[in-house]
Amino acid sequence: MSKLGTLGARLHRGEVGYDFVKNRKIWYSISILITITAIVGLAVRGLNMGIDFQGGAVFTTPKKTVASVSQAETYAEEASGHDAIVQKLGNGSLRIQIAGIDTEKSNQIKEELATDLKVDSESINADLIGPSWGDQIANKAWQGLGIFLVLVVIYLAIAFEWRMAIAAFVALIHDITITVGIYALVGFEVTPGTVIGLLTILGYSLYDTVVVFDSLKEQTRDITKQTRWTYSDVANRSINSTLVRSINTTVVALLPVGGLLFIGGGVLGAGMLNDISLSLFVGLAAGAYSSIFIATPLVADLKELEPQMKALKKRVLAKRAQGATAGEAPDTRVTDEVPADEPEDDEAHAVVGPRNQPAARSRGRGRPSGKRR
């Protein structure tokens, strides 16, 4: 338990760690596989767009309606010819949602529902959403998402550099694709709450990514003036130093969201919570994964395409090979700051040939005879 309690500090100091960057091909393969699965699910099943995006009608029955949820769902589907979602409200009334119907047929559906449910048609409240309104909401949602991504890329390019902006953008697209694909596979309804959830998870994903990028930026200042570590070494150190922080943040965020999804939506049957809780749960997990396994390793790959970083890596590997030949264990640990005054070769530290010690002027003094031999 004591070791677990000090794990974060040991990771930050570089005493322990896992080489995330070295195994990046494994993480890339896993992400590609999951992304392809999500895209296939989205192409085959499609998204179950809610009434706010495709238009329709919402009927609310009077209080203490006798019919059950299943009965009302059957009546609504027979009257409209479309799938219906029925929820029982706290006052005993029923909320019947039918998407994709023509608003001109709403009065006819309302009359049939009143007859089947044995209530007065005037007591049923009907809220209508036209298809054009739904298309407008969907377009606004996509525009908002696009503007968000553009602003994020511009900010990261200014605050850090364009390579980090590209890596963060790839991580965000990764998170969105996985979340939307799982939505399609599960079949949950896409509502405005889903859009809110998507924007929220993008913020969490960027938070973890920016924390790692900030540490990486600090530790790679004047990195070309030393020959102990490559850019990938420092990137891996940045991930490990912020690993516990990212895990703690994600777990704390997932606990209440998991409560909404599994207890509120599953056990209690609160279906209105599913649309936002599923997107949050999947997106938070995907965001934490992408910030650790995708964004930072991708930055390392992009940076080491530069001529300066290629030359640095060549010098570092040559020095390590020389140390291995001499029987020395290579030191790949990274401290909090990369020293700027470290020489680029070993000549400053090596001593070639025997060292001649100067003769001491007081040699022989203090002997019993006081004479020199």
pLDDT digits (tens, 9 = 90+) for 212-228: 888 888 888 888 888 88
Highest mean pLDDT among 51-65, 204-218, 261-275: 204-218
Write down the pLDDT at residue 29: 93
Averaged over 298-302, what is the pLDDT?
92
Write down the pLDDT at residue 264: 65
% of the chain surpassing 90 pLDDT: 9
pTM, to two decimals: 0.71
Would you say residue 85 has pLDDT above 70?
Answer: yes
- The CATH number of the structural domain formed by 56-129 is 3.30.70
Would you say residue 233 has pLDDT above 80?
Answer: yes
Delimiting residues of CATH 1.20.1640.10 domain(s) in the chain? 7-49+133-308
Architecture of domain 7-49+133-308: Up-down Bundle (1.20)
Write down the pLDDT at residue 170: 92
Would you say residue 100 has pLDDT above 80?
Answer: no
Would you say residue 103 has pLDDT above 60?
Answer: yes
Report the range of poorest mean pLDDT among 34-38, 161-165, 254-258, 272-276. 272-276
Averaged over 18-42, what is the pLDDT?
90
Q: pLDDT band at 131, cuts 50/70/90?
A: low
Write down the pLDDT at residue 339: 45
% of the chain surpassing 70 pLDDT: 78
Would you say residue 126 has pLDDT above 60?
Answer: yes
Highest mean pLDDT among 137-146, 295-304, 360-369: 295-304
**pLDDT tens per residue, range 159-216:** 888 999 999 999 989 988 998 888 888 887 787 778 778 878 777 778 888 888 888 8
Averaged over 100-121, what is the pLDDT?
81
Delimiting residues of CATH 3.30.70 domain(s) in the chain? 56-129
Highest mean pLDDT among 16-20, 85-89, 104-108, 313-317: 313-317
Residue with tokens 């309804």: 189
